[in-house]
Every structure is written in C-alpha cells, then in structure tokens.
Amino acid sequence: VQAWLQQRFHVNARRLLIWTGTAVVALLLFTTLWIHPHYLSYFNVAVGGPQNGRNILLDSNIDWGQDLLRLQDWMDQNGVEEVNLAWFGTADPDYYGLNYKPLPGFPRPQFLSQWTRPPFNPADPEPGIYAISVSNLWEIQLADKNVYPWFRARQPDDSIGNSILIYKIP
C-alpha cells in the first residue's frame, strides 16, 4: 500500500508516515469527543460503534448501572412519570429519585432482604415504558433465561448511554 501511495501521489515515505500518524490521532480525538461522556460503553467503528457494543460484550464491559441518572433526565425531558425498570449495577435507583416498578433483574446484595420477584408476564408485557439494562436484556446474570425474549425481538425506541434501552409498549 505504501509503495502504491508513494507512486500514485508522489509522496515520500516520511511525509506519508507523518500524514498517516496525523490522520490516526485526529480520528482518535474525534471518536473520543464523539463518545463523551459514555466512555464505558465505547466500541470503535470497526465493530459497529457503541450502538453495536451490546452485541459483542456485556456485563461490566458496558454496564454498571452508570446511566440511572441519565434515565432520570430522559424521563424529565420526555414527561415520563414512571418506568418499568430492570437495572444492572450496584447503584440504588431510589437515590436518583427514579419513580419505577422493578422488573426481574439481577438483585443487588444490599437489596436482597427486601427484594421479591415482581409480577411480570414476559410473553405479554403490560402497556408502559420499559427501561431495561442491556446486561439484563440478555439475562447474563438471571437464573430464568426466558424473561426478556419479547423485548430482544424488537428494536428499542430509545437508548440511554448505550447501556439502558427504552421500549414503549402501547
């Protein structure tokens, strides 16, 4: 490739190296600014970008519950009073003031004493707004591996920080 570029554009090797290095640094700078502030869920464009990251890696590679605060912002901006929430991570949604109904998810140790499996029909979810963490969507930590296939079969209506997917069920 280098020989072809040198011959085609009459550029010497040193100049080609400088231009290539500059282009790589510019691309890195652009992608860093583009992903801000969602660094944890970053995946490069070669694998489809951050939107496709959930199809490649899950768990702590993409989701620690870091987007609960952004979920509250999204709810405020969209006039949503309450969500059906399956979150992943150790953060307490109550701390962020979220008004939510818990869905089956990965209960945190600090909540085990008060946690019971909420009533939920996975084949026919009730109307409402569902906010489901990508790690819970793929049920990697759930004992029941048949909780969210209905949602996996659909495109989300929105995404919050690439770690929480929003589904609007009429």
What would the pLDDT profile of 36-49 be if each residue is shown by its tens digit? 776 666 666 667 66
With a threshold of 0.85, does the pTM exceed it? no
Pairing of strands 128-133, 83-86: parallel
pLDDT tops 60 at residue 116: no
Residue 84's pLDDT is 94
Helix axes 13-35, 2-9, angle to 10 degrees: 110
Which two structure tokens, joined as six digits, stand for 153? 């079969």
Q: What is the pLDDT of residues 27-36, one digit of tens each?
A: 888 877 777 7
pLDDT band at 96 (very low <50, low <70, confident <90, very high): confident
Rounded Cα–Cα distance for residues 57 and 137 (Å) = 13
Residue whose C-alpha is closest to residue 31's, from 47, 44, 46: 44
| Residue 141 half-sphere exposure toward CB, CA atoms < 13 A | 18
**Chain center to CA of 85:** 14
Do residues 100 and 83 make contact, with C-beta atoms less than 8 angstroms apart?
A: yes
Q: Is 5 helix (H, G, I), strand (E, B) or coil?
A: helix
Q: What are the residue boundaries of the structural domains of the chain, listed by start?
A: 2-36, 55-169
**Kind of pairing between the strands at 83-86 and 164-169:** unpaired
- Residue 99 in this model has a pLDDT that exceeds 70: yes
